[in-house]
Amino acid sequence: MNTEPFRWIVAILLGLVVSSWIRTYIRLRHIPGPPGVGFSKLWLLKKSFGGRFHLDTLETCEKYGSIVRIGPNELITNDIEVVRRTSAVRSPYVRSNWYDGLRFDPGHNTVLSESDEQVHLVLRTKMGAGYSGKEIDHLEQSIDANIAQLVELLTTKYLSTTDCYKPVDLAPKFQYFTLDVISDIAFGKSLGNLEADQDVWSFIKTVQDSTPLVIFLAIFPGLSKIFFSRLCERFWPKVTDSDGLGKLMAIAKDVVAERFGPNRKTHRDMIGSFIRHGLTQREAEAEAVLQFFAGAETSAIAIRATLLYITTNPQVCNSLLSELSSATISDPITDEEARKLPYLQAVIKEGLRLYPPITGLALKLVPAGGDTLKGHYIPGGTKIGWTPFGMMMNTEVWGADAKLFRPERWFEGSSDEKKRREMDVDMVFGYGKYLCLGRNIALMELNKIFVQLLRNFDFAVVDPTQPWKTYNVGLHMQSDMWMRVTKRIPSF
């Protein structure tokens, strides 16, 4: 048998592959980055699942510069102005197919995963009032009630005394709290996690199990089309499931169904606002599920990190307690009162700065014709994302002590410098047309929870050498945040 034709075919195919690799490498060869990133996504894949993705991307920008190549067609930046440019309302940059993997419903996009700019804008417009809290009658009262439930849980089950030591893992407790808040304001009824003192529908486990897959599909968006096809429908969670994502889908479906049809019910909650502004029944179901992933998980991360910084910095803790003791505040503290407490606000901002909850790449697409960023020409079609940790620990922006938790930095400098810092730290919520819709609700939770916890308790980390276990894969997976909780005599 004459094998010569087959050899030629193999040689041609190999030549095409090598030629493609070379062309891909050459188009971004002027951008520095780790070895081999111009030819494959192996570095990106390895770092994404190494458990310290937030630190790996931070360190990569510290080593190679403000714009770094991390894949054949992928760049990241730690420059705040570059992120503002790519996310501005009128920016020609758009979401890349990285977002294709961020779907929780195979057949339907949400405001998080939608890459069509016009559709995304319409969704944001319809949902803005609901997320702002302006059309939720019981927003602040709901947060107060769930904080009170958390305080009650710690008081009745986990309070240590000189004669009784009861260490408590606060990591899941804070997630119970944020899940109950988001379900309460979205549906008008909480999931009851705090009351049951457990993850009643295995939601936390669902997030931990599904996030690595979501990030994998975001890195290889071509696979998401296969994964979300009919071939995989039978493997996807269903509304008939007894727990996990399927159970949440069922709850959302039932709650939304009440708002449509001839016997529809009207509620002044978040879902009710979405529907009043034009969301269809199918859209409302999908967005309701997204709220649990986007709202509950991120807020819990911010609460854990900031409380840990407070409790492990005696000077900060004492300064905060001093401000609270001398202030005239309600019990529970109101959002308006909290916003007027400068040191509390500085602590919250510093916590968000040093520990941004979201660390995924959020890759945007460079417009046709390319762009020049930080002196580098970037060809059109290139994907560029951010490293939030890199942005918030950039010494050129925050000073030589950028990695130090120091709330006092928020009182330093001129009024213009202070205003600039405010704008810069707000970037943890995104910017422009991609600004997090739940920002106001998250800040209200943060404004309240630390005051109420410190009003009632003293916290001590059980093992300062390992205050928690954390694994980062675009989102922080935190557990074993063991603390001793003792009763504080209220002084404010």
Distance linking the first and last C-alpha atoms of the chain: 92
21: exposed, middle or buried (Cβ count in 10 Å: 0-12, 13-18, 19+) = middle
Geometric angle at alpha carbon 93, from 364 and 473, rounded to 5°:
15
Contact 73, 381 (CB under 8 A): yes
Q: How far apart are CA 64 and CA 32, in angstroms?
A: 6
User: How many other CB atoms sit within 10 Å of the CB of residue 424?
Assistant: 19
The residues that bridge with 406 in the sheet, in sequence order, are: none
* Overall residue count recorded for the chain in this entry: 492
- Tokens found for residue 14: 């190999």
Instruction: Name the burial class of residue 49, with classes exposed (0-12), middle (13-18) and buried (19+) by CB atoms within 10 angstroms of its CB.
Output: middle
Tokens of 193: 């996690």
Q: At what angle do helices 281-291 and 244-257 cross, to 10 degrees?
A: 140
- Annotated ligand binding at 436? The verdict is yes
204 in helix, strand or coil?
A: helix
Torsion of CA 408, 411, 414, 417, to 10 degrees: 70
The annotated binding site for heme is made up of 436
The annotated binding site is made up of 436
